[in-house]
Amino acid sequence: MEPLRIDIQSEIGKLDAVLLHRPGAEVENMTPLNVQRALYSDILNLSIAQAEYEQLSGVLGRLCDVYEIKELLVRVLEKEKPREDLIQRICVSEDVTSYMDELLDMKSEELARVLIEGLPARIDTLTSYLKNEYYALYPLYNFYFTRDAAVTIGNQALICRMANKVRMRESLIMNAIYRYSGAFSCDVTDVNDFQGETSPVIMEGGDIIVAREDILIVGNGVRTTSQGIDFMVERFRRNSPPGRYNIIVQQLPSEPESFIHLDMVFTLLDKDKCMVFKPLIMQANQYQTVHITVDDGVVTSIRPVAGLLQVLKALGMDLHPIVCGGADEWDQEREQWHSGANFFAYAPGKVLTYARNIHTLDELDKCGFEIVKASDFIAGRNDDIVRGSGLCAVTIDGSELPRGGGGARCMTMPLSRQKVNW
């Protein structure tokens, strides 16, 4: 089977392939003591979270090719040199080199499970006893948010240097998958290869939106630093074909924690529609929007602009904003907290979202979107609506998954999209 050519030129093009990770025992391997370390706002009920996730993966499985992280990781671990390199990088970065031989002796399927679900610590030294830690390798609680550890732009995979060290292993695994699984054809840049331990260069995929072939929108906040954006601009400048490119930077608040990424306040729905958290995107505030222009590989301009929607309109993307939570400010805040602005487009004007954000769904309905339950589509109903030419929002249940701090876009890594006829 030929490797899939990574090809992402927009946020909304018809989806051909996507990368997912079904939440497993790693989510359940959590206690109130480590919930803050896991970056969650609460403890998840795994069985309910999995049932909700099956709706997401079930819909996408009927619409495009689905690749699974764990299966690809096993393929990497079947290869001796990539296996050794990955285990060494993980053990060094997490200061558990004494476990290297134990890990290398495991069968590939078991090793893949341990790298995701966690490895209990051996209490066989005074140091390990005094550390009072149950895990040598912590579970990857956040790995079902596949968006964050790597970014696909054009035919490139950018492996992110994440804000929290607890998520470093996700990036290392994604690097190995893109380079060595044999599933993908793309150029790979691992930001971690270029940075020291204390480097301020940090970025995560939830802050990075490929709006159009020539427009990249990036959030600047607690998970993506200005230095991280400078790194991306430099790579973008070097690797892109000749022409004019625009990088739009939107500053984000550092709190509340629901503002961790740009895609929690702004996502694209169609060629002419977007979902916004109104107080940040449409109202006056202290957070800057900056337009960086790159002409034929040279940064020619860095300047402030009036706002995200305004600069996009000037660049030919005249977007109608649909307001997360509707007209009431209280509802806006409540539904933004539960990822009400975090939409994933599987085609122009066709999106996935949570069913719980009823005021946001009302706004979609007013704008012509037909609302379809994921369970109905999976069961074979409403096929004409979901696949047809009209506007559509497919809703998945979301009582548990949002507790992890993300929505449909967070849980999906697009690999290939069809070209949009702008």
pLDDT of residue 39: 47
Contact yes or no for 233/292 (Cβ under 8 A): yes
Contact yes or no for 209/262 (Cβ under 8 A): yes
User: How many other CB atoms are found less than 10 A from the CB of residue 133?
Assistant: 13
Quick one: which H or E segment has residue 323?
Answer: strand 320-323
Contact yes or no for 86/76 (Cβ under 8 A): yes
pLDDT tens per residue across span 306-365: 999 999 999 999 999 999 999 999 999 999 999 999 999 999 999 999 999 999 999 999
CA distance 246 to 282: 21
Contact yes or no for 410/145 (Cβ under 8 A): yes
Contact yes or no for 209/217 (Cβ under 8 A): yes
Identify the weakest region by mean pLDDT among 179-183, 369-373, 396-400. 396-400
Determine the distance from the C-alpha atom of residue 273 to the mean position of all C-alpha atoms in its chain, rounded to a whole number: 21
CA distance 370 to 382: 10
Closest C-alpha to 372, from 396, 348, 390: 396
Contact yes or no for 299/345 (Cβ under 8 A): no
Average pLDDT score over residue span 96-103: 96
What percentage of the chain carries pLDDT values higher than 90? 84
pLDDT of residue 306: 95
Query: Architecture of 4-417 per CATH?
Result: 5-stranded Propeller (3.75)
CA distance 247 to 233: 8
pTM value is 0.95
pLDDT tens per residue across span 129-160: 787 788 999 999 899 999 999 999 999 999 99
What angle, 0 to 180 degrees and rounded to 10, lies between the N-to-C axes of helices 168-180 and 80-93?
Answer: 170
Structure-block tokens of residue 47: 């069985």
Structure-block tokens of residue 83: 């296996």
Residue type, 303: R
CA distance 400 to 133: 27
User: How many other CB atoms are found less than 10 A from the CB of residue 262?
Assistant: 28
pLDDT tens per residue across span 52-86: 999 999 999 999 999 999 999 999 999 999 999 99
